Amino acid sequence: MKTALRYLVYVLLALFVTAAVAVALIVKLALAPAKDEWSQRVQYGPIGFDVGVPTALRLATASWFAPQLAGHKIDTRFGSLRFDWNEAAGLEVNCEQCSMPVPELGDKPLQVRRLTFTVRRDVDSLFGNLRAMQDGIPSGNELRGRWSGRLTQKDLQLTAEVDDAPIGQWYQLLVPELPELKRARIGGTASLRLQMALPDGGFSLQPRLVLFTVDGLGADGLLESRAGSCGAQARLASDAWLSRGAVAALDAGFFQHPGYDSASLAVGRAASTPSAAPAAATNAKPERVSSIRIVVPTPPPPTLNLQVAQRLLPPLPHPEARQLRDMLYAVEFERAPGKQRLLQAYLDIAPWGEQVCGAEAAARRYFKRSARALEPTQAIWMATLLRNPDVMLQKWRAEGQIDKPAARKVAEQVRDVSAGQRAAMLRGVANARFVAPAAP
């Protein structure tokens, strides 16, 4: 009896192994990548084989196969994925306690209580909806959006849009440990547009902010407490020549922007094989695109608001978290102390090279006069130094000149001057040869 049972167990085990090998071979044959198809190596126990990713995606989203995935779960490094089927929405994927490490934002990964997205396919066009529910956010206030994609044998090109949601909610998602969030009153909404190409990894991410306001941080008090840190304050009026020159050199849109430049919020990375099709418009809704071109934004220089925040606040170890924190202060500076006082304070704490700090000290060192008494050409010269003071000073000593093309551009961008005044400034910049200060 025991011999018979042992024999039966061996037979069943052999059948199981044979069946497993057969299934693996069938899967391997069915999902084997075609020539030049995007592929991914898959390891299942001791068996490893290449899978054609487009083939696998077409199978998983096929109307006859996708319902069979309902009820199944897969554990991933991002969280547990559960598959469901909905006749109206198609395949539904739920990620419970989803997390994703983003080192630029902090040591802790981004976390959402549940991420849900639906998937439907029409030939090679993919589309669906997405929702993200966060801890601490009332039910019904989840982030919502839509996505679409185009699948080819070589890649998957995706476009996604997340609808307007409170900016404070975005901050809670991205930097929940930021201390300022406990006291900041954040207004306005933000939406998001993402374009991505796989497997190349190129992407473009463009946020859009509406009516962004901040209150409660005490930004004006912080500014006043540090405004005299460089010694005597010049407190220049906004129409002083050095004030005009600084705005022209560093932030030409200072009096128009709300404390930040929307273009500075965009991030991206070029794909290794960019497509040739034109990029979709920023405000367009996702559609079943044939191809997309990843446009990597060139970040503009920081606004004066942000430069003041960077000068006043201690650094953070994570660059994107620091940018988000500094932006809160940059926006609050718009309300208090306002543009004119902020410009004054910036000039009184700005670095002018070789440990020289503040407009008054810089004017007396470089031109032996008060900042209020600077002539237009001298003011343009000093404003140009602000872009890269130490390098400019070395050039000044070595060649008797700073960067003249840069100084000319500053003079051309000075606002609210007559044609005669601008012509005089340009002549002054072209002919200027000031004596360089002695090295410290």
Question: pLDDT of 369-398, one tens digit each?
Answer: 999 999 999 999 999 999 999 999 999 999
Work out the pLDDT band at 278, boundaries 50, 70, 90: very low
Does the pLDDT value for residue 286 go beyond 60?
A: no
Query: Are the beta carbons of 306 and 331 closer than 8 angstroms?
Result: no
Does the pLDDT value for residue 352 go beyond 70?
A: yes
pTM of the predicted model as reported, rounded to 2 decimal places = 0.84
Q: What is the pLDDT of residue 255?
A: 95
Work out the pLDDT band at 150, boundaries 50, 70, 90: very high
Does the pLDDT value for residue 34 go beyond 80?
A: no
Cα angle for residues 356, 436, 416 (degrees, 5° grid)? 75
What percent of the chain is modeled with pLDDT above 70?
Answer: 85
Does the pLDDT value for residue 20 go beyond 60?
A: no
Q: What is the pLDDT of residue 295?
A: 66
Q: What is the pLDDT of residue 6?
A: 42
Work out the pLDDT band at 105, boundaries 50, 70, 90: confident
Q: What is the pLDDT of residue 292?
A: 56
Q: For residues 41 and 50, give the distance between their C-alpha atoms in angstroms, rounded to a whole number.
A: 4
Does the pLDDT value for residue 10 go beyond 50?
A: no
Q: For residues 85 and 177, give the distance between their C-alpha atoms in angstroms, rounded to a whole number.
A: 36
Amino acid at 76: T
| 216-243 pLDDT per residue, tens | 999 999 999 998 899 999 999 999 999 9
Q: For residues 201 and 221, give the distance between their C-alpha atoms in angstroms, rounded to a whole number.
A: 44
Does the pLDDT value for residue 274 go beyond 60?
A: no
Q: What is the pLDDT of residue 8?
A: 38
Q: What is the pLDDT of residue 53?
A: 82
Q: What is the pLDDT of residue 235?
A: 94
Q: What is the pLDDT of residue 190?
A: 96
More confident residue, 250 or 262: 250
Q: For residues 370 and 380, give the distance between their C-alpha atoms in angstroms, rounded to a whole number.
A: 15
More confident residue, 184 or 8: 184
Q: What average pLDDT score do residues 18-31 get?
A: 44
| 45-73 pLDDT per residue, tens | 666 667 788 888 888 888 888 898 889 89
3-state DSSP call for residue 220?
Answer: helix
Q: For residues 287 and 158, give the distance between their C-alpha atoms in angstroms, rounded to a whole number.
A: 10
Does the pLDDT value for residue 27 go beyond 60?
A: no
Q: Which residues contact 401 (CB under 8 A, 6 or more apart)?
A: 395, 432, 433
CA–CA distance from 95 to each of 165, 279, 288 (Å)?
21, 30, 25
Q: What is the pLDDT of residue 45?
A: 65
Q: What average pLDDT score do residues 340-360 get?
A: 95
- Listed in order, strand segments (DSSP E) in 39-182 are 39-44, 47-52, 73-76, 79-86, 90-100, 110-122, 125-133, 143-151, 156-166
CA–CA distance from 190 to each of 148, 258, 282, 359 (Å)?
20, 15, 14, 37
b/e code 133-157 from CB counts within 10 Å (16+ = b): bbeebeeeebbebbbbbbbeeebbb
70-79, 209-218, 292-301, 385-394: which range is least confident on average? Answer: 292-301
Q: What is the pLDDT of residue 104?
A: 78
More confident residue, 277 or 90: 90
Q: What is the pLDDT of residue 427?
A: 95
What percent of the chain is modeled with pLDDT above 90?
Answer: 57
Work out the pLDDT band at 282, boundaries 50, 70, 90: very low
Does the pLDDT value for residue 328 go beyond 90?
A: yes
Q: What average pLDDT score do residues 281-290 get?
A: 40
Query: Looking only at Cα atoms, what is the longest distance across the chain?
Result: 113
Q: What is the pLDDT of residue 383?
A: 97
Q: What average pLDDT score do residues 420-438 get?
A: 92
